[in-house]
């Protein structure tokens, strides 16, 4: 039996440590390395009784790996990844596999894949979702890059990945180049939308219906037993019931209302603009976090700017049910936007993405895991060329039965002065997508008026452009 290690991992933060422990638990010998001596020491303590080792130097790390080498980087995205690659590259040979498991922007992965391909090194950019717990017990893994690397990493990745109820691993090859990191980026963009919608449902229940956190938690727990079943709904129910140890108050009431972000939602929105894809719900979720950061300004503005004083006077129980419908309909539109974006990127980069497989990747282990991803998978299995989820029979029928409640919720929030940017943008997306005619004819006339940008005519073939002398 070889004394060499099957897999190497550089970057022994919590995510890196947990992935290493997961890999070892599934029968593979792992060696880790980190420039930080404190992280190395902590990892050594955690792995003392495991089939693992922590190298003191990069040279030791490389020397103890079997060939072809399989090395995964769990370091901060950006310059740190380039720095580690530059240090490793002289020591890697043709057929060795180098994997970036961080939240890297997909154009960086495309660039590195091309550079390392020229040297014969098999580069993989893989999305890993599920947080610290998922890394340890089974994340969703979205690998892309050099397809020749897949047979070398497939046994390990599919062994450690989360499994669906039927035992399928939430890990399949996504596509060439930056495909894996692109799909992870879109996953995170959808996550932004999901979280914002849930927050808006909470705000409506709190501000319009006068409900307390524990009561709201009961609603989310009930919703989690139906078509809204998902990880984010589940943890929201738990959050609402949690008490602050210091004050005894609901923890949600003592957390400052300013949200952070790491950039993947912004990347998703920027990419949608670059590719000409309407992904306004995801973008509004990003802007909602940006607005939340203006805490001091908002506090001041609240003393100056007025709004509606009307109170909700309807049936609270009935409205909570309408709110459930609104959340589900909005959620569907957010996912529709995400899959539209992936389709546009697939056409641009020729990755040959399999959207049914991507839905499967997200069925377990990841942050946006949800029951209805099975319905998304079924939709693309039925029609792999489906242009929009809203056109699948299942989702068409869901929107048909929920849209009146959805409209009532958005209208009520507007009347009461409650901000619901995700709910309202999702509804605007739906209404725009179902409109055979939009007011862009006037917009194009304006463009032609001041800039001679020309326009197409309804009575001429597409692709013919005309100009009017307006003055």
Q: Round to whole Å and give the CA distance between 75 and 72.
A: 9
Contact 144/180 with Cβ under 8 angstroms?
yes
- Which residue among 24, 110, 191, 200 is the active-site one? 191
Q: Round to whole Å and give the CA distance between 322 and 310.
A: 20
Q: Which of 427, 394, 383 is nearest to 408 (CA)?
A: 427
Cα–Cα separations (whole angstroms), residue 377 to 150, 358, 389: 23, 8, 10
Is residue 191 annotated as a catalytic residue, yes or no? yes
Is residue 184 annotated as a catalytic residue, yes or no? yes
Structure token pair of residue 344:
């546009």
- Which residue among 69, 184, 266, 377 is the active-site one? 184
Contacts for 311 with CB less than 8 Å, ≥ 6 apart: 416
Q: Round to whole Å and give the CA distance between 197 and 409.
A: 12
Any idea which residues carry the catalytic annotation? 184, 191
């Amino acid at each position: 039996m070889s004394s060499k290690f099957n897999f190497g991992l550089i970057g022994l933060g919590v995510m890196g440590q947990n992935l290493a422990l997961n890999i070892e638990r599934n029968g593979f010998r792992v060696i880790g390395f980190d420039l930080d001596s404190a992280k190395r020491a902590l990892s050594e303590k955690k792995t003392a009784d495991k089939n693992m080792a922590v190298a003191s130097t990069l040279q030791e790390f490389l020397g103890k790996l079997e060939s072809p080498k399989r090395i995964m980087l769990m370091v901060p995205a950006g310059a740190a990844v380039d720095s580690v690659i530059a240090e490793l590259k002289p020591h890697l040979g043709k057929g060795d596999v180098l994997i970036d498991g961080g939240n890297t922007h997909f154009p960086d992965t495309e660039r590195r894949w091309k550079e390392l391909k020229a040297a014969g090194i098999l580069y993989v950019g893989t999305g890993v979702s599920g947080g610290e717990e998922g890394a340890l017990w089974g994340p969703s893994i979205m690998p892309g890059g050099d397809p020749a690397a897949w047979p070398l990493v497939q046994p390990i990745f599919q062994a450690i990945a989360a499994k669906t109820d039927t035992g399928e691993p939430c890990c399949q090859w996504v596509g060439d180049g930056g495909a894996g990191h692109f799909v992870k980026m879109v996953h995170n963009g959808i996550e932004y939308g999901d979280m914002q919608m849930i927050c808006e449902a909470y705000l409506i229940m709190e501000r319009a219906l006068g409900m307390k956190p524990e009561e709201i938690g009961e609603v989310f727990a009930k919703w989690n037993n139906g078509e809204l079943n998902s990880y984010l709904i589940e943890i929201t129910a738990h959050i609402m019931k949690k008490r602050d140890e210091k004050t005894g108050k609901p923890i949600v009431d003592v957390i400052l209302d300013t949200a952070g972000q790491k950039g993947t939602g912004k990347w998703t929105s920027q990419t949608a603009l670059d590719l000409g894809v309407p992904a306004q719900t995801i973008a509004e979720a990003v802007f909602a976090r940006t607005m939340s950061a203006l805490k001091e300004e908002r506090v001041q503005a609240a003393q100056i700017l007025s709004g509606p004083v009307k109170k909700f006077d309807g049936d609270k129980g009935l409205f909570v049910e309408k709110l459930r419908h609104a959340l589900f309909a909005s959620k569907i539109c957010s996912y529709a936007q995400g899959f539209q974006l992936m389709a546009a990127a697939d056409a641009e980069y020729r990755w040959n993405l399999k959207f049914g497989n991507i839905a499967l990747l997200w069925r377990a282990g990841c942050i946006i895991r949800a029951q209805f991803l099975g319905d998304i998978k079924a939709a693309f299995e039925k029609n792999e060329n489906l242009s929009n989820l809203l056109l699948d029979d299942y989702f068409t029928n869901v929107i048909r039965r929920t849209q009146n409640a959805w409209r009532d919720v958005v209208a009520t929030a507007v009347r009461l002065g409650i901000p619901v940017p995700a709910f309202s943008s999702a509804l605007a997306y739906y209404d725009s997508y179902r409109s055979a005619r939009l007011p862009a004819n006037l917009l194009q006339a304006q463009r032609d008026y001041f800039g001679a940008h020309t326009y197409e005519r309804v009575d001429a073939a597409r692709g013919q452009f005309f100009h009017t002398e307006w003055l």
